[in-house]
Amino acid sequence: MTTKKLHVALLFGGNSSEHDVSKRSAHNVYDAMDKDKYDVSLFMFSKDGILLGNDDSLRIFNGEPEDQVVKEAYAKMDLKSPLAPIAALNQVDSIDFFLPIIHGNLGEDGTVQGLFRLLKKPYAGCDIAASAIAFDKDLTKKILNQAGIRNTAYLLLTPDNRDAYSWDTVKDELGDLVFVKPAKQGSSVGIHKVNTADEYEAALDDAFKYGRKVLAEAGIDHPQEIEISMLGNDQPIASKTGAVRVPKGDAFYDYNNKFVDASKVVFDLPAKISDSLSEEITAMAIDAYRALGLTGFCRFDFLVDSNGVPYLNEPNTLPGFTNISLFPQMWEISGIKYSDLIDRIIQLGIEEFKKNSKISYSFQALGKEHVGEKNYTEKD
């Protein structure tokens, strides 16, 4: 008896500074998927946030110039329709499962997760609330602090309070080394290491391009950067740790190191750290996973100071799957090969969907409205 293949919609691209990163990740995920188990349809969100169908997405996947393909696709669309951004989903038969590999804005922030829920379909990764919270560094830190999970001190800046936080004020509060970063951005986009007033003001100008919330965060001088991958729903498991060592002249593990040129970056798999530190980071990661309400999979980034004290830097609920990305590599050294990893991610999404499908929503007819007496008291 032949088992019916699962029809998976693989979504990538997006209206995000991480658009091209997502395309690279999606290629690797697609190649790793067992085609005996899955029929895969491709859907690429353009840089304008418009979803392209399988045929056009496949053309881009196969190397045709994106801008030209998008232009031709737009010419066939009714872009004035309010459903234009997602109309391409009608081009294929019923979808069994959504696999979003969209980093950053509209993909990692709960937006497409809301779409999947409206469509009543299972999907990979965290739900709406957990995605939105984990994408917001300010909200993440608030929950980590409430749960007692160590992270670096910070100040929240907005356009309304920016003038109240001069460099001297921030330095007195956080120390001489500060990182300025957008609250809702990934892949080190918009992040600046600052040591002076001029650097601070320039960093704020840039960070506010990406949103109205910006963090000024206490820095750790030359930290050891440790990453750990997670899998699971109610019972999450952690991979072995990995370490990232950037060239000495680089301020931190920035966008260029992550995605453009990693030739001088050293990746230690597993990380060369003590058993006690590895155990502490693993315990912190599991606690944070539960505190933030994460499901499916994620990657946590940690910073370890010169005294060996780990600080949770941030979660990534749709981590990269590029050739440089450590998420799949950490599972590889932990005994889960790439194709099996994708299988597990899909299965976890299906399990979570089935569990949530059992939630009861009772509806009570209101009938005729009965309003009580209203007494209005005049002020003296």
* The pLDDT of residue 259: 45
Reported as a pLDDT band with limits 50, 70 and 90, residue 76 is very high
Instruction: Calculate what percentage of the chain has a pLDDT beyond 90.
Output: 81
Output the 3-class SS for the chain. Answer: CCCCCEEEEEEEECCCCCHHHHHHHHHHHHHHCCCCCEEEEEEEECCCCCEECHHHHHHHHCCCCHHHHHHHHHHCCCCCCCCHHHHHHHHCCCCCEEEECCCCCCCCCCHHHHHHHHCCCCECCCCHHHHHHHHCHHHHHHHHHHCCCCCCCEEEECCCCHHHCCHHHHHHHHCCCEEEEECCCCCCCCCEEECCHHHHHHHHHHHHHHCCCEEEEECCCCCEEEEEEEEECCCCEECCCEEEECCCCCCCCCHHHHHHCCCCCEEECCCCCCHHHHHHHHHHHHHHHHHCCCCEEEEEEEEECCCCCEEEEEEECCCCCCCCCHHHHHHHCCCCCHHHHHHHHHHHHHHHHHHHHCCCCCCCCCCCCCCCCCCCCCCC
pTM of the model: 0.91
- Regarding beta strands 224-232 and 296-304, do their DSSP bridges make them parallel or antiparallel, or are they unpaired? antiparallel
The phi and psi torsions of 80 (rounded to 5 degrees) equal -85, -15
Residue 258 has pLDDT above 70, yes or no: no
User: Stretch 67-94: mean pLDDT, rounded?
Assistant: 94
User: Stretch 346-359: mean pLDDT, rounded?
Assistant: 96
CA 183, CA 140: separation in Å to the nearest integer? 10
Reported as a pLDDT band with limits 50, 70 and 90, residue 250 is low
User: Among 2-16, 70-84, 115-129, 135-149, whose mean pLDDT is lowest?
Assistant: 2-16
Mean pLDDT of the chain: 92
User: Stretch 167-188: mean pLDDT, rounded?
Assistant: 91
Residue 248 has pLDDT above 90, yes or no: no
pLDDT in tens, 200-241: 999 999 999 989 999 999 999 889 999 999 999 999 999 999
**Burial class of residue 260 (count of CB atoms within 10 Å of its CB; 0-12, 13-18, 19+):** exposed
- Cα-Cα end-to-end distance for the chain: 84
* The pLDDT of residue 128: 97
Length of the chain in terms of residues written: 380
CA 226, CA 239: separation in Å to the nearest integer? 12
pLDDT in tens, 294-314: 999 999 999 999 999 999 999
User: Stretch 154-171: mean pLDDT, rounded?
Assistant: 97
User: Stretch 353-380: mean pLDDT, rounded?
Assistant: 84
Residue 253 has pLDDT above 50, yes or no: no
